[in-house]
DNA sequence: CAGAATGTAGAACGATCGTTCTATTTGTGA
DNA sequence: TCACAAATAGAACGATCGTTCTACATTCTG
């Protein structure tokens, strides 16, 4: 258990703190399921079983918690992509796995649309910290898809990237506001047609 | 309590009332541009230059105003479709005109995404009045597209409908969170490929 | 003309929002 | 063991939320 950096001048990684993790997990669950502005700090605090003081010790304000929530969602998807990348290096197979991952999420229980799209809908200012966090994710996803399509030798990687991202967005909206299984089928079929 | 409508079965059309129109127009502008929960009744009231009493004379509460806002957006798009339908009866041309209408909106000034998707993001309960109003629009749009595709003799009208709706949703998200002109091009190109 | 409906003006309600504060207790590392 | 950071507990802040109310003026209608 000695993670002692004895020599390292590193500013000490600091333990995640159980209360902070509860706070983050609860905020993520509530913000996604009910919306950001709908859920107040009191809700998060009481359900995470922490106190107001503890909350404000970890975050300067609510917006910071929202930003962290968005970043966590982004982090989770990047981690999933990294996990996939450990199974194969073939760009075509990687793309197929990413598409499959999106499709699976569409029909997962508790799915309430894309967390980034939903969060952005509540933050009109494109320069707000929340919107910038959303952008960070979208830029990452887009560039990842673009690189894979190029590596796979797609004849028109730029258009294919834009289309694939658009199908992902539309698929999530369709799964949220319509029949998830239909959305899944439509997404999979249209995404497959992009590679042709 | 005899609300007996003596002779006329018509509930009297009633004049639109200037104050009510100002209220509705202001609410529409603010709700779309800044979000529903972000904008309070006081904002709407002051910018519409009416009084609280007037507001609550026309609407039982804020949610009713939100529902009316969604319905107005739906009504505007139906009116636009009706307008298009007066130019031609050819289903293929009608579809092309609808697609063109969507594309134009993507690059219009002040565009902040799909009002229905954005509103739905703020109302988690699928049975809420707002969500039902959103559904009404989406059901109408979907069935309209489906009928036109069938009439145009599309080989796979069901899938084409789902795909076209998905592209419309994704296109609006892309235009909101990305480059609108790129979204427009991608949407037009992909929508065109549906008819082939 | 009478009278209902509509609009204006402004005070006030309780509830909740996000935030700050003081005081005390727990836990951990040096 | 000492000291410092983290968490607990609970009161309290001003601001804003959506809503209700009374009192008076306007306008349209039967």
Provide the b/e sequence for A112-135 (b: ≥16 CB within 10 Å).
Answer: bbbbbbbbbbbbbeeebebbebbb
Taking only the tens place, the pLDDT of each residue in B137-196 is 999 999 999 999 999 999 999 999 999 999 999 999 999 999 999 999 999 999 999 998
Residues of A in contact with B165 (CB under 8 A): 170, 174
Task: For chain B, report the end-to-end CA distance as a whole number of angstroms.
Answer: 62
Low-confidence ranges of chain A (pLDDT < 50): 1-13
- Measured from the Cβ of residue A54, the count of other Cβ atoms closer than 10 Å reads 17
- With CA of A51 and C1' of each nucleotide, the nearest comes out as D8
Nearest CA in chain A to B132: A177
**What's the pTM value of the predicted model, to 2 decimals?**
0.92
How far apart, in whole angstroms, are the C-alpha atoms of residue B119 and residue B66?
9
Other residues' Cβ atoms within 10 Å of the Cβ of residue B17: 13
Does pLDDT of B100 surpass 70?
yes
Which bases in strand D are touched by protein, i.e. have an atom under 7 Å from a CB?
6-12, 16-23, 28-29
- Taking the Cβ of residue B112 and every Cβ of chain A, the question of whether any pair is shorter than 8 Å is answered with yes
SS (H, E, C) B59-103: CCCHHHHHHHHHHHHHHHHHHHHHHHHCCCCCHHHHHHHHHHHHH
Range in A46-50, A111-115, B3-7, B87-91 with the lowest mean pLDDT = B3-7
Tokens of B74: 């739906």
Q: What gap in Å lies between CA A61 and CA A93, rounded to an integer?
A: 43
Quote the pLDDT of residue A19.
84
Average pLDDT over residues B32-37: 98
B135: pLDDT strictly greater than 60: yes
Chain C bases near protein CB atoms (7 A cut-off): 6-12, 16-23, 29
Separation between Cα atoms, residue A60 and residue A67, nearest integer Å? 12
Mean pLDDT, rounded, of chain B: 92
Q: What is the pLDDT of residue B17?
A: 80
């Amino acid at each position: 258990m000695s993670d002692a950096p004895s020599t390292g001048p590193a500013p000490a990684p600091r333990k995640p703190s159980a209360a902070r993790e509860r706070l983050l997990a609860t905020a993520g669950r509530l913000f996604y399921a009910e919306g950001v502005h709908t859920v107040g700090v009191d809700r998060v605090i009481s359900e995470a079983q922490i106190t107001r003081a503890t909350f404000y010790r970890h975050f300067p304000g609510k917006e910071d918690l929202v930003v962290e929530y968005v970043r966590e969602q982004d982090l989770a998807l990047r981690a999933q992509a990294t996990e996939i990348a450990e199974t194969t290096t073939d760009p075509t197979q990687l793309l197929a796995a990413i598409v499959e991952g999106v499709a699976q999420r569409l029909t997962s229980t508790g799915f309430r649309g894309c967390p980034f799209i939903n969060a952005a809908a509540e933050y009109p200012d494109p320069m707000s910290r929340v919107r910038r966090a959303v952008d960070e994710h979208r830029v990452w996803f887009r560039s990842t898809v673009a690189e894979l399509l190029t590596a796979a030798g797609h004849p028109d990687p730029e258009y294919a990237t834009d289309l694939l991202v658009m199908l992902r967005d539309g698929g999530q909206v369709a799964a949220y506001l319509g029949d998830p299984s239909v959305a899944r089928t439509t997404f999979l079929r249209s995404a497959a047609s992009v590679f042709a």
